[in-house]
Structure 1
């Protein structure tokens, strides 16, 4: 299986951690820190949860793609249910449908066993660009 997750500079900079990946599923996590991830309202910035979901959903799809294919986010519907505090935030993503060019993926984000956010997204599937 091709590398994914912490192999990308953005994921490392944010602190995303790969938990497991395969068979159209992916789980990733991040340890939310007040001084690093919070917004002025005293909760984690929504972009942190969104980035975790987007990356996890891409990981789920990449686990199914043949060599030479890659994916990119087309759109994500993201629902914030409750504010995220300090502690571990985990995202579980599952590919619901994969066509030849588009896949639909579901994601759920949990903190301390509580559902805090949910997402559903469509991702494009295409041939990897040639190396420059």
Structure 2
């Protein structure tokens, strides 16, 4: 719905992007709604961790600390996420969001690792 693009993913890293459109993504103050950047980071962070998980394992966000540094304007917003530490049940992941090579936001989060539910 938001228009995320997977740029690259593997070995505990994930890069995702979105082309910020004023009509679809801006809030009344004329910048991208904070939820767009947060959702991009959350998705990239999950992508970074899932690239390291074996078959039958899933992950879910436990918590994310998100810092907005400057407003996000029209144009490409890119997020680079990296697994910092991965244990058996919890992983910690960093994310940095850039627009035109400028750091606009950063995040750090903990994700749960668990066995995928059996279907049936």
Task: Indicate whether the TM-score tops 0.5.
Answer: yes
Q: Distance in 1 between matches of 2:24 and 2:55?
A: 36
How many aligned positions are there? 120
Alignment partner, residue 68 of structure 1: 56
RMSD: 0.6
User: Following superposition of structure 1 onto structure 2, how do residues 1-132 of structure 1 map, counting pairs within 5 Å?
Assistant: 13-132=1-120
Q: Secondary structure at the match of 1:83?
A: coil
Shift of 1:130: 1.9
4+ aligned runs moved over 2 Å, structure 1: none
State the TM-score, normalized to the length of structure 1.
Answer: 0.90
TM-score (norm 2): 0.99
Higher strand share: 2
Unaligned runs of 5+ in 1: 1-12
